[in-house]
Amino acid sequence: MTPRTRAGLRPFRPVRPGSRVALVAPASPFVREELDAGVAELTRLGFVPVYDNSVFDREPIVAGPANRRAESLMRALTADDVDAVIAVRGGYGSVETLAHLDAARIADRRTAFVGYSDVTSLHTFINQRAGLTSVYGAMIDRRIARGPTAYDVASFLASLSADPIGEVAIDNGASIRGGEVEGPLFGGTLTQVVASLGTPFAFDPPAGYVLLVEDIGERPYRLRRMLVQLASSGRLAHAAAVVIGELPNCDEGADGITGRQVMEEFFADFSGPVIVNVPAGHTNRPTLSVPLGVSVRVIADARPRLIFDEAAAA
């Protein structure tokens, strides 16, 4: 019998050198050179990258019709010879595939899924509907394609293995609220998390979870509005801790208001630990890859850090 995480999710199958990794485009289109460079980098790591021609489909804004993107995603997530699926890029469009996905078939195959940004909606589907862990981590476009200067290789590989990734030190991180707590990590890009509310695919993690939120290019008042919406939904009250990203390009401008200031003020009275400036998802540093659905200990002090003692793969 497949073991389960403390949150009750089934782990995906481990991904090792020699594993076949399918590249999919569930959201926006991309530049072909980024895909080629990503294939070369994955090959350098010892993986066998594969993709089908539907990855090159194009429509305004999105990488082809929603049903075709969903079919490609389902083929990759349920193929007998694929061990992991990595999104080429985010942008917009992943939410359009959700109604076409088969959670039971995805759950049966237990294939690792990796990505961030717009594919937050896919993580929520895989975590909640399929009951599987996943990895909020490096995609191909402008991350894996650019090599170790753009993504953290160690956390990318560790998050896919059958061993816990252990301690993740948050260089240049800060603790908004001190404390230490443990719970399963869920979340992603704030825009996608709040956009799901009120839909059949709403973000709805278990009580005691650790909330991961990050974003890019959102003005401070928009961040505050989304946080208010999240709190009003009741989801924030269920969180035991909050882990916040770097928020690049989320500063207002001449008046000096910053995205980080919004976070510091909003979470000033939060009941649990809060860490900010974590380079997960959108970041100007090499992006971290972190497992979702597994237990993480959040330590918010003068040296903020995350400790994963549970693996996402088995």
pTM of the entire predicted model = 0.98
Q: List the domains of the chain with CATH numbers.
A: 20-159 (3.40.50.10740), 166-308 (3.50.30.60)
Among residues 41, 72, 159, 214, the one annotated as catalytic is 214
CB count in 10 Å sphere of residue 183: 23
3-class secondary structure, 270 = coil
Choose among 205, 274, 275, 210: nearest CA to 240: 210
Active site residue 214: yes
Predicted pLDDT at 254? 74
User: How many residues comprise the chain?
Assistant: 314
Told to judge if 175 belongs to the known catalytic residues of this protein, a careful annotator would answer no
Helix (H) or strand (E) run with residue 266 in it: helix 259-266
DSSP helix/strand/coil, 49: strand
Catalytic residue among 72, 117, 121, 159: 117
Q: What is the pLDDT of residues 44-89, one digit of tens each?
A: 999 999 999 999 999 999 999 999 999 999 999 999 999 999 999 9
pLDDT for position 255: 78
117 catalytic? Reply is yes
pLDDT confidence of residue 256: 87
Catalytic residue among 72, 121, 155, 282: 282
Helices (H), 31-65: 32-44
Do residues 277 and 305 lie in contact, with contact meaning Cβ atoms separated by under 8 Å? no
* Residues contacting 140, CB < 8 A, separation 6+: 23, 30, 34, 35, 38, 86, 87, 88, 89
Per-block average pLDDT, block size 10, for the chain (314 residues)?
A: 93 98 98 98 98 95 98 98 98 98 98 98 98 98 98 98 97 97 98 98 98 98 97 98 98 87 97 98 98 98 98 98
